[in-house]
Homo-oligomer: A and B are copies of this chain.
Amino acid sequence: MKDIVYRLGPGCEVDDIVEGNMYIGKVQGFATFGTFVQLNDKTKGLLHKSNVLTEKQEHDSIIVLVNQVRPNGNIDLREIVIPEGSYETQLVTKKITLTKLSDLISKIGRNVTIEADVVQIKQTSGPTIFTICDDSGVEDAAAFTEAGVRSYPEVNLGDIVRVFGEATRRNNQMQIEVSGMQVLKGEEADNVRGRINRALEARAEPPEVTPLVKSDVIDALWPEMRKLAKIVRRAVLTQQPIIIRHHADADGICAAVSVETAVTQFIRDNGGDPDQDNFLLRRSPSKAPFYEIEDVTRDLDMMLKDNVRFGQKLPLILLMDNGSTEEDMPSYKMTEVYGPDVIVADHHHPDDTIDKYLLSHVNPYHVGGDFGVTAGMLGTEIARLINPAVESRIVHFPAVAGVADRSEAPELDSYLALIEGKYTRDECKDMALSLDYEQYWLRFNDGREIVKDILNINNAPERHAKLVHLLVTEANAAIEDQMNTMMPHIHDQKLTSGANLFLADVEMFAHRFTFPPPGKSSGEVHDILCKKYVNEPVVTLGLGPDFAVIRSRGVRMNIPQMVRSMRDEMPGAGISGGGHLVVGSIKFVEGMRAQVIEKMIEKISEFPVTSL
């Protein structure tokens, strides 16, 4: 058996030295009476000149035996010459008392040892900042080698490390001034990782709340909602940035703002810097109800740059009122290459092929529900699972969302009942219209504070009332003006099926680049016509130069199928589109507009009318 030469690990002190043992040290300097040998950063001994055997220079390695540890802590050494290969080196690790990150504040000025997961590494022009996460919390550890030089280059994002250092308060934030850092490996790392993971799992576990309303659909979705909420909570606990992408309409806004509210509060509750939500959480309204290739490109561009520049983790992407259809596929293929986690809460008809790209997907269709259980309802329940403390502030969001999306699901009535005495259905409708109108002018900004006022979560009920009143008034005036312009130009036609078909040109006979936009304008025209032809089947086509918006009542339409067959029958018309059965849209190339409209009328004529 080989001899053992010990190496005194970081953090070890004189107490950890055993007389008679051999240690490997480093020559620190020379005095007239002998040589000082450093056994680690903190501990040095004296090699009296009588005990020197070989000629060394500063910084040379040297093997010594500890003759004596004197009562005053002085260490007397003797040099040992022992052939390489004839001994084994063994690390002496400090019998350490681990400190939890959450206890750091009580240890200011003292040396601590932490075992943690590295969740961010940022090279500053001075020290390297390692953000570390243990089973109790998250803090920064600053290590300095040379200005702008990466300390501990062997430490990577996701490693389990043991950090030694002094607990300090810098700019009044807790920080560890690192004196040593070890990457743990194998079983040791697994143990720590296991401990952190178990703690994180436990801390990420959503609290035991039950749905706000009685609903078979929501009950059936509950496990998946808990799962999604847990992923979000875990992201917050491990400093993973979160991007919420959502459809820029009232339902999507309600969904996203409910989660935004819960997450912001959850960050604060977990000791987050008050400004941190600006870095860790971004809410981005998206034009389309799917994750467009342009959006994913911008998100990836930004997140990869932040990853390189700030050592920031790739974000968790949460899609709301958005993300469940085949149209999202190209974007998911991009996320798959780079690997950010993607989760979805949507009420559009889901396409199963996308699920392999998602960590979690909450969708009422998965459990026999339909789009009547809107994204805003899902979002509010998920928000409560993330942080139930925000419930009272967002409890009316499901009703606003449901009214906005004209939900006919029984859940809407339950959600409305829940807020009886606080908000009427009309008030919900006003908030929904205000959101749509304001978002139109916000374009793709989140308009955070204004949106909070519209939804009355800014603790300023008078301002809320004034704002909603103003926005509703302005929106209705704009709609009325648009209708006055459009209605005189509607073409109507009695179809062979008995349905009334109306053609409204949203390009040539409508105000453009203003509220209401084409889709909304078509809807308003359709509503007017439905009221006028109260007991008759009505189909309204809002016609643009290269698209048409379709709304119908009293006709057993199947728009996705119609679009598919037109695509097959009209090669060269560049047809695409889809939507729900009775509400949808179609795109085509402008040069084929007349033929496409003719074909569409022909197809619509074939759908049977239903009794109203």
Q: Which residues of A contact B (CB under 8 A)?
A: 123-127, 144, 146-148, 169, 171-174, 271, 273-275, 278, 293-294, 297-298, 300-301, 304-305, 307-309, 330, 333-334, 337-338, 438, 441-443, 445, 447-450, 463, 466-467, 470, 474, 481, 484-489, 505, 507-512, 546, 571-574, 589-592
Q: Which residues of B have CB within 8 Å of A546?
A: 512
Task: With CB as the reference atom, state the residue of chain B lying closest to A295.
Answer: B441
Known pairs A144-B172, A470-B333, A591-B508; A274 contacts B125 (CB<8 A):
yes
Task: With CB as the reference atom, state the residue of chain B lying closest to A142.
Answer: B172
B333–A474 CB distance below 8 A: yes
A301–B442 CB distance below 8 A: yes
Q: Which residues of B have CB within 8 Å of A448?
A: 301, 304-305
Query: Can you add 10 more A-B contacts, CB < 8 Å, to A304-B448, A337-B466, A508-B589?
Result: A127-B172, A147-B172, A294-B441, A297-B438, A301-B448, A304-B450, A305-B449, A337-B470, A488-B572, A489-B591
Known pairs A273-B125, A574-B485; A308 contacts B591 (CB<8 A):
no
Measured CA separation A14–B294 after assembly (Å): 69
Measured CA separation A424–B301 after assembly (Å): 28
Q: Which of B174, B297, B589 interacts with A510 by CB under 8 Å?
A: B589
A298–B509 CB distance below 8 A: no
Q: Which of B293, B441, B512, B571 interacts with A441 by CB under 8 Å?
A: B293
22 A-B pairs whose Cβ atoms sit less than 8 Å apart in the complex: A123-B274, A124-B172, A124-B275, A125-B274, A126-B172, A144-B172, A275-B309, A298-B442, A298-B445, A300-B450, A301-B442, A304-B448, A304-B449, A307-B449, A337-B470, A338-B463, A481-B574, A485-B574, A488-B571, A505-B591, A507-B590, A511-B589
A571–B334 CB distance below 8 A: no
Closest chain B CB from A542 CB (angstroms): 14
Q: Which residues of B have CB within 8 Å of A573?
A: 485
Measured CA separation A135–B165 after assembly (Å): 39
Task: With CB as the reference atom, state the residue of chain B lying closest to A488.
Answer: B572
Counting every copy of the chain, the complex holds 3
A447–B301 CB distance below 8 A: yes
Q: Which residues of B have CB within 8 Å of A146?
A: 172
Task: With CB as the reference atom, state the residue of chain B lying closest to A175.
Answer: B147
Q: Which residues of B have CB within 8 Å of A484?
A: 571-572
Q: Which residues of B have CB within 8 Å of A509?
A: 572, 574, 589-592
Q: Which residues of B have CB within 8 Å of A147?
A: 169, 172-174
Task: With CB as the reference atom, state the residue of chain B lying closest to A464.
Answer: B337
The 8 residue pairs across chains A and B that have the minimum distance between CB atoms: A126-B172, A508-B591, A488-B572, A304-B449, A485-B574, A297-B441, A147-B172, A509-B591
Task: With CB as the reference atom, state the residue of chain B lying closest to A172.
Answer: B126
Measured CA separation A124–B274 after assembly (Å): 7
Measured CA separation A353–B591 after assembly (Å): 44
Measured CA separation A485–B567 after assembly (Å): 11
Q: Which residues of B have CB within 8 Å of A309?
A: 275, 278
Known pairs A171-B126, A450-B301, A450-B304; A572 contacts B485 (CB<8 A):
yes
B449–A273 CB distance below 8 A: no
Known pairs A173-B126, A488-B571; A297 contacts B447 (CB<8 A):
yes
Measured CA separation A220–B466 after assembly (Å): 37
Task: With CB as the reference atom, state the residue of chain B lying closest to A274.
Answer: B123
Measured CA separation A146–B572 after assembly (Å): 68
Measured CA separation A173–B148 after assembly (Å): 8
B449–A590 CB distance below 8 A: no
Measured CA separation A275–B124 after assembly (Å): 8
Closest chain B CB from A572 CB (angstroms): 3
Q: Which residues of B have CB within 8 Å of A308?
A: 449
B590–A442 CB distance below 8 A: no
Measured CA separation A315–B69 after assembly (Å): 63
Q: Which residues of B have CB within 8 Å of A450?
A: 297, 300-301, 304
Measured CA separation A466–B335 after assembly (Å): 11
Q: Which residues of B have CB within 8 Å of A126?
A: 171-173
Closest chain B CB from A356 CB (angstroms): 15
Measured CA separation A449–B300 after assembly (Å): 9
Measured CA separation A337–B473 after assembly (Å): 14
A511–B449 CB distance below 8 A: no
Known pairs A169-B147, A449-B307; A337 contacts B572 (CB<8 A):
no
Closest chain B CB from A51 CB (angstroms): 33
Q: Which residues of B have CB within 8 Å of A485?
A: 572-574, 589
Task: With CB as the reference atom, state the residue of chain B lying closest to A310.
Answer: B275
Q: Which of B441, B467, B510, B511 interacts with A337 by CB under 8 Å?
A: B467
Measured CA separation A300–B449 after assembly (Å): 9
